[in-house]
Amino acid sequence: MRRVLGAVLAVSLAVVIGAGDARAQGGPPGVLQIAVISDVTLNPFTLPQQLPTLMVSKVIFGTLTRYQPGDGKPVGDLAASWKTMDDGRAWEFKLRPGVTWHDGKPFTAADVKFTLENIVNPQVKALFRSQLQGLQRVDTPDDLTARLVFKDPMPALPIVLGYNIYIAPKHLLDGKDLNTLDEFIRQPVGTGPFKFKEAVKGSHVAVEANPAYHGGAPKLHTVVFKVVPDVNSVVAQLRTGELDLAVVTANHRDTLASAPNLAFKVTVLPSTFYLALNNARWPFNDRLVRHALMHGLNRELMVQRLVRGDAPLAGGPYADAFGPYVNKDLKPYPHDVGRAKALLAEAGFTPGADGVLQKDGKRLAFSLMVDKGNPEREQIALYAQQSWKQLGADVKVDVEEWSVYIKRGNQIPSGDYDARTSWRITSADPDKTAEYTTGGVNNHYAYSNPEVDALMAKARSTVEEGARVAIFRKLQEAIYRDVPVVWIYHQTEILAMSKRVKGYPDLGIRDALPWVHQIAVP
């Protein structure tokens, strides 16, 4: 017991000392220090560890397209130009000439063919295979032309290709087991602005400037990705200048607001956070109940007070990041408890003896599942519980381990839950077949509306931009009327950035990293 107490005291002492405000110093000039939450394994196909690996991959590897600062439109990276053929079923990409791999070998269409065909190869556990679903083959009429042939039209292909489809070197990887790549991950070779230098487990990954980069020599000489798993340490290191860039929560932005060396950048992501209602289960199969739960929740207050970070209130699944496809006429449903109660009465619910509403002898009782460990999401679940209780619903909050949450929730045609907190981040491709059509792979809440299915299919096969926009706006109306889930807000990324950092492109960190050669740290 005494030893335990001693340990507790030692830890608290360390926390107190750590909290002392050290002077902001910053790293050496020409070196950018970015936080990642775990070690990375630089396999451009399987991308283990996901986000941290993606961040490092974005500076080492190239993609065919990337997103333009400001408006986020897809522009060329390894591709110089492209055009569609065969009603959007085929796309021809002209590659940028004179690009070389970090080992000096030339980059050609053969690399593109090798990479893309392996991503859709079922033997390879490529993380982003579903994005290229329907890719039949890649033709290479010459060294600088790649023609992608799909089963169905792919109107948003240039957006999709910029979203983590890294091109890998055929001359080094051909014939290797792409799921492991033991040798390659120790010394990865790409076409990006930075070359791999070293990786020290539990400490950092360092990359150095590639002077031969096709976009011009980088202004930095080194980028260091520091492995900092603990968010309180990230905050402390931002303050002291040991980190130049890190994604933080709204809560930590408030903490850091007083730090003179830091600035913040907020980006709305193509993502939505919502409370999923299992449409396959009673009482959520009744649209009136779903509407009532939507009206009964003060989402505006939740966003202001629990989420913050300037997150916009969501009226549907389309964040501003989806650009022209967003139907701005659809305003988020207002908070109106009276309306909510009236809707429940209309649905046939009457107060029971225990104060809980009931219909045909069934109590309005359900559980709300939330993944464990994230205070913001737990607070949202608890607040929804409290708000819906006021409507007369008996809600039980069910806090589950991440693995259980995923296993129970991520099933089709419907997950094993009544309601749960959920969110989805995608590319800016407005196609939401996976989320909002009958049987869609991410439609775990069993939403089904034949009108939406038909419109989504029509949008997929429509290449002409104006017509596509019109279809997407129309299908949003149908989804909006149905309230399949209770949308709450569109997620934002809050980037804390040292004021030493110059030339940071107007994009979220994920999309900004392919432009890292423009960033300077004098």
| Nearer Cβ to other proteins (401/465) | 401
186 binds other proteins (CB under 8 A): no
CA pair distance 119, 113, nearest whole angstrom: 10
| Least spacing, CB of residue 382 vs other proteins, in Å | 5
10 Å CB burial of residue 17 (0-12, 13-18, 19+) is exposed
Cα-flanking dihedrals φ and ψ of residue 144, to 5°? Answer: -115, 20
Which of 68, 240, 379, 518: binder of other proteins (CB under 8 A)? 379
> Looking at 145, 187, 255, 518, which residue binds other proteins (CB under 8 A)?
255
Q: Which is nearer to other proteins, 145 or 298 (CB)?
A: 298
Q: Give the CA distances from residue 86 to residues 83, 460, 462, 481, in Å, rounded to whole numbers and listed in that order.
A: 10, 14, 12, 35
Closer to other proteins at the Cβ: 100 or 233?
233
Using rule CB under 8 A, residue 378 touches other proteins = yes
Residue number, 192 or 296, with CB nearest to other proteins: 296
Instruction: Select from 52-60, 298-306, 341-349, 513-521 the region that touches other proteins (CB under 8 A).
Output: 298-306
Binding of residue 305 to other proteins (CB under 8 A): yes
User: Please, which residue, 130 or 232, has the CB nearer to other proteins?
Assistant: 232
**Smaller CB distance to other proteins: residue 140 or 251?**
251
Pick the closer one to other proteins by CB: 222 or 261.
Answer: 261
Smallest gap from residue 75 Cβ to other proteins (A): 39
If the CB atoms of residues 10 and 15 are measured against other proteins, the closer one turns out to be 15
The two structure tokens encoding residue 183: 């040798």
Which region, left, alpha or beta, applies to residue 373 given φ > 0 means left and ψ of -120 to 50 means alpha? left
Q: Is 174 in the site for other proteins (CB under 8 A)?
A: no
* Of 375 and 450, CB closest to other proteins: 375
Structure tokens given for 273: 């956070």
Report yes or no: 463 and 153 within 8 Å, Cβ to Cβ: yes
User: Whole-number minimum distance, CB 284 to other proteins, in Å?
Assistant: 22
* Residue of 103, 142, 174, 254 interacting with other proteins (CB under 8 A): 254
Chain positions 385 to 414 lying near other proteins, rule: CB under 8 A, are: 385-386, 397, 399, 401
Q: How far apart are CA 336 and CA 387, in angstroms?
A: 11
Euclidean distance between CA atoms 465 and 472, whole angstroms: 11
Burial of 404 (0-12, 13-18, 19+ CB in 10 A): middle
Nearest to other proteins of 303, 456 (CB atom): 303
**Does residue 17 interact with other proteins by CB under 8 A?**
no
**235 forms part of the interface with other proteins (CB under 8 A):** yes
| CA distances from residue 150 to 157, 360, 459 in whole angstroms, order as listed | 10, 52, 16
**Which residue(s) pair with 74 in the sheet?**
67
When the beta carbons of 206 and 259 are compared against other proteins, the nearer one is 259
Strand partners, 497: 245, 263
| Member of 100, 383, 434, 451 binding other proteins (CB under 8 A) | 383
**Least separation, in Å, of the C-beta of 417 and other proteins?**
15
Cα separation, 408 vs 404, in Å, equals: 6
Shortest distance in whole angstroms from residue 242 CB to other proteins: 17
Does residue number 233 form part of the binding site for other proteins (CB under 8 A)?
no
Q: How far is the CB of 305 from other proteins (least distance, A)?
A: 4
With contacts defined by CB under 8 A, how many residues of the chain interact with other proteins? 31
Q: In this complex, which beta carbon is closest to other proteins, that of residue 186 or of residue 305?
A: 305
Query: Is residue 416 at the binding interface for other proteins, with CB under 8 A as the rule?
Result: no
Is residue 214 near other proteins by the rule CB under 8 A?
no
- Closest to other proteins by CB, 151 or 305: 305
- Sort strands 222-227 and 31-36 into parallel, antiparallel or unpaired: parallel
Under 8 Å CB-to-CB from 134, ≥6 apart: which residues? 150, 151, 152, 154
**Judging by DSSP bridges, how do beta strands 245-248 and 492-498 pair with one another?**
antiparallel
| The pair of three-digit structure tokens given for residue 266, joined into one six-digit string | 């907020």
Q: Is 267 helix (H, G, I), strand (E, B) or coil?
A: strand
Task: Pick the piece of the chain touching other proteins (CB under 8 A) from 34-42, 161-169, 344-352, 367-375.
Answer: 367-375
Minimal distance, residue 307 CB to other proteins, in Å = 11
CA distances from 303 to 70, 310, 338, 393 (A): 25, 8, 21, 22
Quick check: helix, strand or coil at residue 104?
coil
Is 251 one of the binding residues for other proteins (CB under 8 A)?
A: yes
Q: Verify binding: residue 301, other proteins, rule CB under 8 A.
A: yes
Q: Any residues with CB less than 8 A from the CB of 93 and at least 6 apart, and which?
A: 64, 79, 81, 82, 112, 145, 146, 147, 148
Q: Which of 89, 214, 252, 299 binds other proteins (CB under 8 A)?
A: 252
Question: Closest separation between CB of residue 244 and other proteins, Å?
Answer: 20
What CA dihedral angle connects 266, 271, 275 and 278, to 10 degrees? Answer: 180
Binding site for other proteins (CB under 8 A): 1, 4-5, 8, 12, 15, 19, 232, 235, 251-252, 254-255, 298, 301-302, 304-306, 372-373, 375, 378-379, 382-383, 385-386, 397, 399, 401
